[in-house]
Amino acid sequence: MADDKKLTRRDEDFAAWYNEVVLRSELADYSPVKGSMVIRPWGYGIWENMQRALDDMFKETGHENAYFPLLIPMSFIEREKEHIEGFAPELAVVTQAGGKVLEEPYVIRPTSETIIYSMYAKWVQSYRDLPVLMNQWANVVRWEMRTRLFLRTSEFLWQEGHTAHATAEEAEEETLLILGIYRKFMEDWIGMPPITGLKSESEKFAGAVRSYCCEALMQDNKALQAGTSHFLGQNFAKQFDLKFQTEAGEEEYAWNTSWGVSTRLVGGMVMTHGDDDGLVVPPRLAPVQVVIVPILRGDETGPLRDKVDEVAARLKAAGVRVKIDARENLSPGAKYYEWERKGVPFRLEIGPRDLESGQVALARRLTPEGEKRKLFLPEGQAIAELPARLESFQTELKLAALARREANTVRGVKSVDALQEAFDGGAGFVYTGWNGDAAVEETIKERMKATIRALPGEEFRSGETPDTCVSGNGSSVAEVAWARAY
């Protein structure tokens, strides 16, 4: 292939490295439309595996999938005040169709709260109709000024859950249930352990009462908002007349939640595990978990091919996603580089020597410290061990990411100068006290480009609760985690 150059190193230019990895591992490519990308089979395969895992978890917790239209009447979006203020600048609007100017313009959905709750209003009459627990897998469009592959594109794929409940407590519970699902998914599938918590007023979703979030730390120590779960209160219910009759016969507005994760998670995966050789895909997400490269020599290739087919079949029977790379126009070495760049967790090499000795060469995408890159194992053993090796590889990735997050977290910072010092020293998350004043956020954002990523949930908070605000003004009402963010 044409692609035989080394990647930019992460420590040289992280942004350049990221772009090269995405393009050269064939996750995605730039499209003819500015700011939007084509997700190629390797990237889409990873997304499909993400979808499957999440979808299972949503369904296990009682949610159903549905589909709502791409186009939303402009007046719907305008109904909720904060919502329109938040989204107006980035809307793409359809003003013409069928050769005529439309009476009312349609907005290409930037998110679907408005159209979905307008429909729920039609379907809900009684408390017996609640809760409504729906999710949709869809594309949305937000016309961002500056885009980045997977992290911020004009159009992206996501899931958006929208629920309606009879009580605020139940809706709040739902919001936290989903936050927990997101966290578990990020930890156990992506191996990207986030901190979770509440957004500050200035960072919350436009139209929400409260936004909860997952914030993950990338290798450049910038935080990535990886998922959000919003408690919407009755804001949308009131605007869309989503009412129900209670058991006592009274009329009441429903309580809503909405929550989403997007193809941004693919970008998070890249920046969490990728290295200077390219992508590293966690086994549970890898479209190909084991690639087999036959070493063909001379004309006696028949028995070798049979052996490769047999090994592949046995791995497949053991539940391993396996691919045979039998291309004849590439040397084995070229294939090694290609699959390593694409992040396939394990590679088996089977050649004439192995055929005789009954062994195979197993190469790991990440070689443990002090070990050789390739292991020569008896064929049967290699096959038998691979499922467990995949699982432990998955776990190692998570633990490494967790260790990195903790190693780059600074706690107990008590002044703005010390906060600045922490970021100058390359910190990721920095925990401080906060008096709840948005002006403090503004000042710090201005000065060091860091924002409050979350008011962390209990298990992420420091052992010692800060009592004063980082600004020096007043006492702290909540511990907060600051970071520079994507």
Partner RNA sequence: CGGGGCGUGGCGCAGUCCGGUAGCGCACCUGCUUUGGGAGCAGGGGGUCCCCGGUUCGAAUCCGGGCGCCCCGACCA
Q: Which residues bind RNA (CB under 7 A)?
A: 1-6, 15, 19, 30, 33-35, 89-90, 142, 144-149, 151-154, 156, 203, 205, 225, 228, 262-264, 295-298, 328-334, 336-338, 340-341, 349-355, 360-361, 363, 373-374, 449, 485-486
- Cβ neighbour number for residue 3 with a 10 Å cutoff: 14
C-beta closer to RNA: residue 85 or 241: 85
Query: Least separation, in Å, of the C-beta of 486 and RNA?
Result: 7
Nearer to RNA (CB atom), residue 228 or residue 394: 228
Looking at the DSSP bridge assignments, the partners of residue 374 are 363
Least distance between RNA and beta carbon 55 (Å): 19
Give the β-pairing of 210-217 and 195-198. antiparallel
Of the pair 326, 418, the CB lying nearest RNA is at: 326
Between 328 and 369, name the residue whose CB sits nearer to RNA.
328
CA atoms of 9 and 307, how far apart (whole Å): 38
Q: Which helix (H) or strand (E) holds 280?
A: none
Instruction: Give the nearest distance from C-beta 6 to RNA in angstroms.
Output: 5
Whether 328 and 295 have beta carbons less than 8 Å apart is answered as no
Secondary structure (3-state) at 483: strand
The distance of closest approach from Cβ of residue 481 to RNA in the complex, given in angstroms and rounded to an integer, is: 15
Nearest approach in angstroms of CB 35 to RNA is 6
140 strand-pairing partners: 156
Task: Give the strands of the sheet with 290-294, arranged side by side.
Answer: 322-324, 290-294, 346-350, 359-364, 374-378
Going along 218-364, which residue ranges are E strands? 223-233, 243-245, 251-253, 255-262, 290-294, 322-324, 346-350, 359-364
**Length reported for the chain:** 486
Whether the Cβ atoms of residue 53 and residue 82 lie closer than 8 Å to each other: no
Write the single-letter amino acid at 260: G
- In the complex, the smallest distance separating the C-beta of residue 31 from RNA, rounded to whole angstroms, is 8
Residue 199 or 405 with smaller CB distance to RNA? 199
Closest CA to 374 of 392, 360, 391, 389: 360
Q: How far is the CB of 364 from RNA (least distance, A)?
A: 9
Using the minimum distance from each CB to RNA, give the nearer residue, 331 or 443. 331
- CB of residue 57 to RNA, shortest distance in Å: 19
Taking the least distance from each CB to RNA, the nearer of 130 and 280 is 280
Nearer to RNA, 29 or 391 (CB): 29
Closest to 91 (Cα-Cα) out of 110, 111, 72, 73: 110
In sequence order, the β-bridge partners of residue 133 are 163
- The total of other beta-carbon atoms located within 10 Å of residue 11's CB is 10
